[in-house]
Chain A
Amino acid sequence: EAQVTQNPRYLITVTGKKLTVTCSQNMNHEYMSWYRQDPGLGLRQIYYSMNVEVTDKGDVPEGYKVSRKEKRNFPLILESPSPNQTSLYFCASSRANYGYTFGSGTRLTVV
């Protein structure tokens, strides 16, 4: 089944403890991106990647890192999470000129 898989689905962590949210797609898509969704603010792009080893900042990249060492994987790294990074996170992938397919989301709480 063609899909985007995010892990974990739910995570509660403490301020400053490094974490990684994984994202993997099995559709051989070139494009991948990360979004966060917050009440009243909608979905905002964090980082995107056009292909392996090609990444760029979106609208809200502060406090996040990404890597694209393989085409299928695009992990989101929070080196030192803070409470304002508590959010619902979505990973998505696409090929050129098609709409994006989203993962099921990761609900992160930083205390």
Chain B
Amino acid sequence: RKEVEQDPGPFNVPEGATVAFNCTYSNSASQSFFWYRQDCRKEPKLLMSVYSSGNEDGRFTAQLNRASQYISLLIRDSKLSDSATYLCVVTDSGGGADGLTFGKGTHLIIQP
């Protein structure tokens, strides 16, 4: 059975701090990797894709380690608006045709 494991938190972090999350996935054949953000039981929204070479989008940096089967997300200079649940997501087929497998999410609370 394919699984994606995350620390559920909550992570309580002061505004302006740097916070990092990891997740691990069980299927070594997994093809694509993403971080999604979910606010208060609203729909998940794509935050960023994750590549082995690492990728950065503003204050957010994501990294994939295929050998160890883990994915990381780093948030720098955290803002109050970053408070949300962060979902680690993988697909097992190239292109994502067979949908997504979600971790249960890491809850982040940014404190003023």
A, B assembled together? yes
Q: Which residues of A contact B96 (CB under 8 A)?
A: 31, 94, 96-100
Q: Which residues of B contact A98 (CB under 8 A)?
A: 96
- Chain A min CB distance to B25 (Å): 14
- Can you list, as one digit per residue, whether each of B69-106 has a CB less than 8 Å from chain A (1) or not (0)? 00000000000000000010000001111111111110
Chain B: how many interface residues by the 8 Å CB criterion?
23
Compute the total of residue contacts between A and B using a CB distance below 8 Å. Answer: 68
Stretch at the interface among B9-17, B41-49, B60-68: B41-49
| B93 to chain A: closest residue by CB | A50
- Chain A min CB distance to B41 (Å): 6
Q: Which residues of A contact B46 (CB under 8 A)?
A: 99-101
| B98 to chain A: closest residue by CB | A48
A105 touches B102 (CB 8 A): no
Q: How far is the CA of A92 from the CA of B91 in the complex (A)?
A: 14
Q: Which residues of B contact A92 (CB under 8 A)?
A: 99-100
Chain A: how many interface residues by the 8 Å CB criterion?
30
- Chain B min CB distance to A86 (Å): 14
Additional A-B contacts beyond A43-B44, A44-B102, A104-B43 (10; CB < 8 A): A33-B100, A35-B102, A42-B103, A48-B97, A90-B43, A99-B36, A99-B46, A100-B46, A102-B43, A102-B45
**A58, A101, A105: the one within 8 Å of B41 (CB):** A105
| B2 to chain A: closest residue by CB | A59
A43 touches B87 (CB 8 A): yes
Chain A residues engaging chain B, CB cutoff 8 angstroms: 30-31, 33, 35, 37, 40-45, 48, 50, 56, 58-59, 88, 90, 92, 94, 96-105
- Chain A min CB distance to B3 (Å): 10
Q: Which residues of B contact A41 (CB under 8 A)?
A: 104
Given A41-B104, A92-B100, the answer on whether A105 and B95 have CB atoms closer than 8 Å is no
- Chain B min CB distance to A8 (Å): 15
Task: Give 28 A-B contacts (CB < 8 Å), ordered by A residue.
Answer: A30-B97, A31-B96, A31-B97, A33-B100, A35-B99, A35-B100, A37-B41, A41-B104, A43-B87, A43-B100, A44-B102, A45-B101, A48-B97, A48-B98, A48-B99, A50-B98, A56-B98, A90-B44, A94-B96, A96-B96, A96-B97, A97-B94, A97-B96, A99-B46, A99-B96, A100-B96, A100-B99, A101-B46
